[in-house]
Structure 1
Amino acid sequence: MELRSVEELMDLLYACRGTWDAPDRAHPSADLHDRALRTAALLRRGRPADKELQVAGLVQPLGALLWPGDPAGRADHTADAVRALLGERVARLVRRRPRRDAPADDDLLALRQASEEGRSAGFDAGVLEDWRTVLELLAARNSRLGAVD
């Protein structure tokens, strides 16, 4: 699966509402939609200029919606789905693999921490529509970069 438009991505993110990830021993179950918004909001607070990192936090829960029977492969599938639309860096962050030149990738640590906190953080993270412009800007920038390659 490959996402081709921001509208398609927004539809999937809206579809996460009411879908719960599976609880594990350390964490309660969380609504994927709410978790995505909280994770992205936490990253926006901590790294206000890093839109790609914020968007990675927003889209990473899609794997649990789209590939519920493949928990081990979700990150890879989600990264592959968003790469063409949102770019290589967002895909790498969603995949949760460090850059070759970074022994301890601060971006991945920030993403992991926000994702864990986003499971249960009790604050108003806004609404999905707040992210449309950021998604459109990243998609437009990525399409321009792809045209140059």
Structure 2
Amino acid sequence: MVVGSVGELMELLRGHGDGHGLRVAALLRRSHPSDKELQVAGLLIHHPAEAIRPLLGERVARLVRDHGPGAPDPWADPDTESLGDAAEAGRSAGLDAGVLEDWRPVLELVAAGAYGRTA
């Protein structure tokens, strides 16, 4: 399945209710406030990279893919390492991560290529 719009992506995220991705994204928002693509990768950490590539670009898909199981060397890239650190820290259920709807504007901007869609 390929996600074709931010609306579809929001529905997909609503269906994944454990909140881990939301906590990871919130942590990355604090540690890397200007890197919206990295934050979005944290939000989507549990989703297939190929499903989000057309909507959110190569970098977000690469970060999600390289963090997942079977990744070649998840610690070789500093951004992937930051994502992994946030994923580990995000396992704490007590973290206030806000609400999913707060991420819609960021997802829309990343989908529109507002952050350069860097590789």
Q: Normalising by the residue count of structure 2, what TM-score does the alignment of the two structures yield?
A: 0.85
In the alignment, what sits opposite 1:137? 109
How many aligned positions are there?
110
Q: CA deviation at 1:104?
A: 2.7
Is there any run of 5+ residues in structure 1 with no aligned partner, and where? 18-30, 63-77
Q: Is it true that 1:109 corresponds to 2:94 in the alignment?
A: no
Q: CA deviation at 1:122?
A: 1.7
In the alignment, what sits opposite 1:16? 16
CA displacement, residues 128-147 of structure 1 (integer Å, 9 cap, x when unaligned)? 000000000011117x97xx
| Poorly superposed stretches of 4+, deviation over 2 Å | none
Q: Paired residue for 1:39, among 8, 24, 29?
A: 24
Aligned ranges 1:55-134 → 2 under 5 Å: 55-62=40-47, 78-96=48-66, 104-134=76-106
- Relative contact order (C-alpha < 8 Å, sep 6+): which is higher? 2
Supply the distance in 1 between the matched residues of 2:45 and 2:51 (Cα, whole angstroms): 11
Supply the distance in 1 between the matched residues of 2:28 and 2:94 (Cα, whole angstroms): 15
CA displacement, residues 24-51 of structure 1 (integer Å, 9 cap, x when unaligned)? xxxxxxx2xx111100000010000000
Q: Give the partner amino acid of 2:4.
A: R
Supply the distance in 2 between the matched residues of 1:53 and 1:121 (Cα, whole angstroms): 21
Supply the distance in 2 between the matched residues of 1:85 and 1:104 (Cα, whole angstroms): 25
Percent identity of the aligned residues?
61
In the alignment, what sits opposite 1:54? 39
For the pair shown, the structure with the greater C-alpha radius of gyration is: 1
Q: Normalising by the residue count of structure 1, what TM-score does the alignment of the two structures yield?
A: 0.69
For 2:86, what is the secondary structure of its paired residue?
Answer: helix
RMSD over aligned Cα, in angstroms? Answer: 2.0
